[in-house]
Amino acid sequence: MGGPTTELHHLTASSAIELFRSRELSPVELLDAVVARTEKVEGRVNAVTGQLLDTAYESAREAERRYAGSGPAPRPLEGVPLALKEEHPIAGHTIEEGSLIAQGEIAEVSHPVVERVLAAGAVVHSRLTTPEFCCAPFTNSKLWGVTRNPWNLEQTPGGSSGGSGAALAAGETILATGSDIGGSIRIPASFCGVVGFKAPFGRVPGLPPYNSDTYCADGPMGRSVADVAMLQNVLAGPHPHDQASLRPAYVLPTDPAPAAGLKVALCVTLGDFPVDPVVAANTRAAAEALRSMGVTVDEVTLPWSRERIAEISWAHFGEIMGAEIGALVEEYGDHLMPYTRRFAERALAGGGFAAGLVGESELYRPLGELLEDYDALLCPTVPAQGIAADAIGDELLDIDGTRTTFMDAMLTLPFNVIGRVPVLAVPSGLAPNGVPTGVQLVGRTYDDATVFRLGAALESALALWTQPDWWPAL
């Protein structure tokens, strides 16, 4: 939770709700603070595609009445300002996904995520940037321009939920939604110093075709582990329009048990991924922090290779996301971003889907065996200190002497390939360029509660993002 000197726009949702209940803060006052902060910093950050202020203020005034005891009782997210990743459509509003070829398109249906946050009383006030069709680990598009990291404006906040990460770090919202098909929640969580959760497949309902894509997960982003758990509890559960959504609804504990006694496997390179020494050092510091909380942490190895993971994942992308984008590339060509065209090229050159499914089981086997002996795996989220904000996808990353593409470098992708594992991403420290680093806590299949137990312990032990002075000064 934010301390007493935390500025209103950087409050956690948990703190805000406590202040609403005690009548020390009004939901309207908090929305005012978030809107003022957006006006101040948005010209430099560029995370917002549009605002919904008329309906937001109506919601804030309704929340104010509920906390005053007039009308129904407050709902789980009552009065909390929340911004939506633009990829989550709202019926009757534009759904452009960062692309000139979709400019002006109007959504016919609302995403289940949108339905649920509104029903829970959240004050939905803004929509947030993505790269074109969400297919890059940075956020830069011809339609919306470059979204910048509030910690270092020359660096990206990540992608594809880059607007969500940037807005949270900058104080432009209190909660945000994201989605993750290759790391799109966790990469921005790492680069922006916030918390994000990639739920296991089926936990959060979605829209076709990606509700049936085992790689894909919609989910929560916030400033604390408790905030992310709170939002996840609103999002999770069966939906009448999504046959893949799991029942019953999985409810995370609001007060997780202490992590002492748990066993965690530490794997810094996940096989042969190159990792920057600063990222590696901050990951080991996170391991030591867990040890200080009574968690047993052992360093292990995994027999994975980047080449094999790429082969398996591109076979999958070729049949679903890549096929859809490939058809657009064929029709629109240079109207699309270079990274969009490259994504389609790689995806459509992938192997067969059935062979990819065999490869997914092959990849999972050693992790599954490891998690028979350990409660979770700890590893870095992003192996590099940063990516340039204006990247377009042709560049290579140099990580500890290894030149690699952006997509092939991300340590997030293996856990989309084996999409039934829960992954909580939390900060681990700062790099010399001022950009945060992060770690992933990977649980056994569908064991969401354990990664939140470990995340809460790590949050307490590191005492980084819980401090008012953690957030970047803009």
472 within 8 A of 45, measured Cβ to Cβ? no
Q: Is residue 2 part of a domain?
A: no
Domain span at residue 433? 8-470
pLDDT value at residue 171: 98
Q: Is residue 436 part of a domain?
A: yes
Q: Is residue 1 part of a domain?
A: no
User: Per residue in 308-319, is it b (16+ CB within 10 Å) or e — as a string?
Assistant: ebbebbbbbbbb
Q: Is residue 3 part of a domain?
A: no
pLDDT value at residue 5: 67
Q: Is residue 265 part of a domain?
A: yes
C-alpha 157/C-alpha 137 separation (Å) is: 9
Total number of domains in the chain: 1
Tokens of 365: 């086997």
Phi, psi for 124 (deg, rounded to 5): -80, 115
C-alpha 431/C-alpha 437 separation (Å) is: 6
pLDDT value at residue 353: 86
Q: Is residue 228 part of a domain?
A: yes
Render pLDDT for 192-243 as a digit per residue (tens, 0 to 9).
999 999 999 999 999 999 999 999 999 999 999 999 999 999 999 999 999 9
pLDDT value at residue 232: 99
279 within 8 A of 311, measured Cβ to Cβ? no
Query: 3-class SS at 69?
Result: coil
Tell me the CATH number at 191: 3.90.1300.10
Q: Is residue 179 part of a domain?
A: yes
Mean pLDDT in each 10-residue stretch from start to end of the chain (474 residues)?
Answer: 71 98 98 98 98 98 97 97 98 98 98 98 99 97 98 98 98 98 98 98 97 97 98 98 98 96 98 98 98 98 97 90 90 95 89 90 98 98 98 93 93 98 98 98 98 98 97 94
**According to the 3-state scheme, what is the secondary structure of 192-216?**
HCCEEEECCCCCCCCCCCHHHCCCC
Residues 6+ apart with CB under 8 A from 131: 98, 138, 139, 140, 141, 159, 160, 162, 337, 339
pTM value is: 0.97
Q: Is residue 22 part of a domain?
A: yes
84 within 8 A of 177, measured Cβ to Cβ? yes
